[in-house]
Amino acid sequence: MIRHLAAASLLLTTACLAIGPAAAADPGITDSEILIGDVEPLTGPPALLGVAASIGHKIAIAEANAAGGINGRKIRYVLEDDGYVTARTIQGVKKVIDVDKVFAMLGISGSGQSIAVMPVLEKSGIPTVIDVAPVKFLWEPPRKNVFVVGQSYEEGIVHLVNFLADKNPGRKWGLITQDDDYGITVRDGFDSVVKAKKLNVVYSGNYKKGQQDFSSDMLQLKESGAEVFLAGGIIAENIAMMKELEKLSIKPVTGIFWPGRIEPVLKLMGPAGDGIYAVDYVEPFAGAAGKAFLEKAKPLVSEAEFKGINRYTMTGYAAAKVLIAAIERCGKQPTWACTISELEKTKNVETGVMAPISFGPGVRFSNQKLQIMQADAATLSFKPVD
Amino acid sequence: MQYLIQLLISGLAIGAIYGLIAMGFAVIYKSTGLVNFAQGEMTMITAYIAWTISTTVSGNVFVVAAGAILAAVLLGLIIERLVMRPMLGEPVFATVMVTIGLAVILRSAINFIWDAYPHGLDIGMGRGIVHLGSIGVRTGQLAVIATLLLLLAAIWAFFRYSKVGVAMRAVAADDRTALLMGISATRVHALAWAASSVIAGIGGVFFALSYDLSPAMFQLGLKAFPATILGGLDAVLGSGIGGLLIGITENLAGGYLGSGMKEVAGFAMIIVVLMVRPFGIFGERDIERV
C-alpha cells in the first residue's frame, strides 16, 4: 500500500514538474481578457519610433478585438514609457511583468534597451516578440521565449551598399555615422562591403549623437570629392546633412537606412531629398500594400494616432499579428509554454506589411526580405526600386 | 581659402544662435544669481509656438515674430511667477534643482502638446540660399548673425542708458541696497525672465528656420551654456560674443581636425580659458572683502 502511495506521489510530482509553472494559470489571463505589455519611448525624440510602433500594436489588437478577441477573450494593451532611458526600460518591463502581470510582451524600445532588458525577459520566461530594433544579440544565441520580427541592421546596410556599389561602379564613397552602437553597426556593415568590393572610400566621418549642425562635416565630404554617400544619421541628422549638401550645391548619390525612412523626412529635406535611396523590409506607404494598410488602420485608431503612423507602425503591427495568432492557436486555455511553442511553429504568416513571417525550432529571428526604395520629392513618398 | 571662409560663415551662423541663447542664460544670472538649466527647453518651446502660429494663424513673418515674442514674454513671466518666485530665499542648490525639474517638464510637454516628428518653420523667408561668390549661405543664417549684432548693441544701450536697465544692474550688484533705493527686485526678476525668454526664443526661432524643429532642440541649451561660461556668466554681451567664438571654434575643429572633434572643441576651449580667467573672458572678478 505504502509502495503504491509513494509511486502515485512520485507520478503526481513528476507530472507537475513536467507541466511546470505554465499549468498553474499563467499571469495576465482571465475569463474575459488577455493582457499584452509593451515598453516604448513615448517622450523625447525617439518617441517617433516608440509611439508609431505602439500604434501598430494597437491596430492589430483592435482588429483582433473587433473580430471577437482571442477565443472570446478581449486583449488589453498595457503600455509604459521609458523615455529611451535604459534604466527606465528595465523598470518598465519589470513593472508590466510583476505588477500588471501581463501574459505576453511586444516592443521593446530601442536596440540598447532591448539588449539590456534581455536577462529580465529570459528569467521571467514570458513570451515576447520584439519588433522595434532588430540587432543580432537579440536572437544570437536564441532565447527560448524571445522572438524577433525584422531584419538585422548589418544585413540592411550590406544590402543597401551592395545595391549602390553595383549601380555606381568605380565611384568615390563617403560615409558618416553616429558615435554609438547604431553607428558601429552601420559602419561594420559598410566596411564588410568595402572590403568585399574594394570600394574607394574618400571620406569617413563620425559625429557625436545629438549633433545638429553638419556644416563642417558636409564641407569635408564635398572637399573629398565623394560621389556616393551613405548618410548614417537617423532622422534630424539626415535632414540636416541633405540640406547642407544642397547649400554646398552638390548632390551625391545618397543612401539612408530604414530608421530614417519616414515620409515627413522627405518634406523637410525638400528637393535635396529627391532620389535618395533607402533600404527596408516593410512595404512603402506609396505601394498597394501600404495603401491597404492605411485603409485598414483608419477606423481602428484616433485621428492623432493615424497621423503618427510610419514604418514602425508596420513592424509593430506585424509582430502583434504573429503573437496574437500564436496565442489563438493555443485554444481556450493558452499558457506561456503553449504560446512559445506556437510562436516557434509560426510559418509563412501573412501580415500584408512585409514578407511572410516564419520562425522555427531554435530559430527566433524572422529574417525578413529586404527591398530598395527611392524617394520621390514630388509625391513625398518612397517607391520600390527592385 | 574658400574652405576656411565657408567654415567661418557657418561657424558664425550657428555661433550666433548659441550666442542668443547664452545671452538668455546671462540675463537671468546677472539679475537673479541663478543658472537656469531650463534655458534650452524655453528656447525650444518658443520655437514650437512660432511654428504653431505659422501653421495655424498666419505664415506672415511679422505675425509669427510678434506672436513668438509675446509668447516668450508670457512664458518667462509665468515661469518666474509660478515656479521661481516661491523659491525666493531658498538655498541656491534647491532653486537650481527646480530649474532642472522645469527642464524635464518642458521637454516632455513637446510630445504631449505637439509630437516627436521634426517640422520645418516656413515663414516664406530664411530658407533660401544666397551665393557669395562660390560660397552658399542660407538667408536665415545671415539674418541671425545680423540679429545678434543688433541685439548686442541694443542691450548695451539698454543697460547703459535706460532706467530699467540701470535698475537691473543695481539689483544685480546689491539687491538689498537697490530695494532701499525703491527698486522692486521681484519686478526686476520678472523682467529678467521675460527678457531672457525672448532673447533665447529668438535664437530658437532662427534655429528652426535654418535647420528644423525637433524635440532634440533643447540640446541647444547644452551647447550655449559653454558660451555663457566662456563670455562670463554675468556678462550678457560677453555671452553673445562667447557664442560666436564657440561656433567658430567648433566648425574649425570639425573642418580641420575631423568630425569627432567638433563637439568637444567648445568644451576644450572653455577649460583652457577658465584656467586663465575663471570668471570668463568678459566676466567680472568677484571680490569679497573680509
Q: Mean pLDDT throughout A46-58? A: 93
C-alpha cell at A271: 528637393
Contact list, A212 vs chain B (CB under 8 Å): 207, 211, 216-217, 219-220
- Report d(CA A169, CA B199) in Å as an integer: 51
Any A CB within 8 A of B128 CB: no
Q: Which domain holds residue B146?
A: 2-276
Whether B289 maps to a domain, the answer reads: no
Going by pLDDT thresholds of 50, 70 and 90, the confidence category of residue A21 is very low
Whether B283 maps to a domain, the answer reads: no
Whether B105 maps to a domain, the answer reads: yes
Say which of A207, A236, A307 has its CB closest to residue B118.
A236
Enumerate residues 6+ apart whose C-beta is below 8 A from A55: A297, A301, A305, A308, A309, A313, A316
Whether B282 maps to a domain, the answer reads: no
Q: CB of A277 within 8 A of CB of A372?
A: yes
Is the pLDDT reported for residue A20 higher than 50? no
Contact list, B254 vs chain A (CB under 8 Å): 215-217, 220
Q: Mean pLDDT throughout B209-234? A: 90
- Report d(CA A23, CA A16) in Å as an integer: 8
Contact list, A264 vs chain B (CB under 8 Å): 117-119
A17 vs A242, residue with greater confidence: A242
Going by pLDDT thresholds of 50, 70 and 90, the confidence category of residue A98 is very high
What's residue A18's pLDDT? Answer: 46
Is the pLDDT reported for residue A19 higher than 80? no
Any A CB within 8 A of B114 CB: no
C-alpha cell at B120: 520645418
Q: Where are the domains of chain A?
A: 33-151+289-369, 154-280
What's residue A23's pLDDT? Answer: 45
Question: What's the pLDDT tens digit per position in A349-374?
Answer: 999 999 999 999 999 999 999 999 99
DSSP 8-state secondary structure symbol assigned to residue A81: E
Q: CB of A29 within 8 A of CB of A35?
A: yes
Question: What's the pLDDT tens digit per position in B140-173?
Answer: 999 999 999 999 999 999 988 998 888 888 887 7
C-alpha cell at B206: 532662427
Q: Residue A227's Cα: distance from chain center in Å?
A: 31
Q: CB of A242 within 8 A of CB of A276?
A: yes
Is the pLDDT reported for residue B240 higher than 60? yes
- Report d(CA A147, CA A160) in Å as an integer: 25
Q: Determine, for residues B117 and A48 on separate chains, whether the beta-carbon distance falls below 8 Å.
A: yes
What's residue B260's pLDDT? Answer: 78
**Encoded amino acid at A168, one letter:** N
Is the pLDDT reported for residue A55 higher than 70? yes
The CATH class for the domain spanning A154-280 reads alpha beta
Tally of structural domains, chain B:
1
Q: Which residue of B has its CA nearest to A218?
A: B255
Contact list, A178 vs chain B (CB under 8 Å): none
Contact list, A302 vs chain B (CB under 8 Å): none
Is the pLDDT reported for residue A302 higher than 90? yes
What's residue A224's pLDDT? Answer: 95
Q: Point out which residues pair with A278 in neighbouring strands.
A: A256, A373
Q: Which residue of B has its CA nearest to A215?
A: B10
What's residue A386's pLDDT? Answer: 65
What's residue B286's pLDDT? Answer: 66
Chain B closest CA to A14's CA: distance in Å?
53
What's residue A17's pLDDT? Answer: 47
- Report d(CA A96, CA A274) in Å as an integer: 43
- Report d(CA A51, CA B22) in Å as an integer: 33
Say which of B7, B211, B219 has its CB closest to residue A240.
B211
Whether B264 maps to a domain, the answer reads: yes
Question: What's the pLDDT tens digit per position in A172-213?
Answer: 999 999 988 888 989 999 999 999 999 999 999 999 888 888
Whether B286 maps to a domain, the answer reads: no
Contact list, A208 vs chain B (CB under 8 Å): 260, 262-264
Q: Which residue of A has its CA nearest to B138?
A: A247
Say which of A42, A216, A268 has its CB closest to residue B118.
A268
Q: Determine, for residues A216 and B259 on separate chains, whether the beta-carbon distance falls below 8 Å.
A: yes
ipTM greater than 0.95, yes or no? no
A181 vs A331, residue with greater confidence: A331
Question: What's the pLDDT tens digit per position in B17-60?
Answer: 999 999 999 999 988 888 999 999 999 999 999 999 999 998 89
C-alpha cell at B121: 518653420
- Cα torsion for B233, B237, B239, B241, to the nearest 10°? -150
Contact list, B116 vs chain A (CB under 8 Å): 44-48, 51
Share of chain B above pLDDT 90, in %: 54
Whether B84 maps to a domain, the answer reads: yes
Going by pLDDT thresholds of 50, 70 and 90, the confidence category of residue A4 is low
Share of chain A above pLDDT 90, in %: 74
Any B CB within 8 A of A85 CB: no
Is the pLDDT reported for residue B181 higher than 60? yes
- Report d(CA A78, CA A57) in Å as an integer: 11
Which CATH number characterizes residue B108's domain? 1.10.3470
Q: CB of A255 within 8 A of CB of A279?
A: yes
- Report d(CA A37, CA A128) in Å as an integer: 9
The CATH class for the domain spanning A33-151+289-369 reads alpha beta
B259-272 as b/e, with b when 16 or more CB fall inside 10 Å?
bebbbebbbebbee
Q: Number of CB pairs < 8 Å for A and B?
A: 118
| H or E element in which residue B259 lies | helix B259-276
Averaged pLDDT of chain A = 91
Contact list, B212 vs chain A (CB under 8 Å): 236, 239-240, 268
Share of chain B above pLDDT 70, in %: 98
C-alpha cell at A29: 489571463
Q: Determine, for residues A264 and B117 on separate chains, whether the beta-carbon distance falls below 8 Å.
A: yes
**Closest listed residue to residue B229, CA positions, set B196, B198, B273:** B273
Q: Residue A243's Cα: distance from chain center in Å?
A: 28
Q: Determine, for residues B111 and A265 on separate chains, whether the beta-carbon distance falls below 8 Å.
A: no
Any B CB within 8 A of A241 CB: no
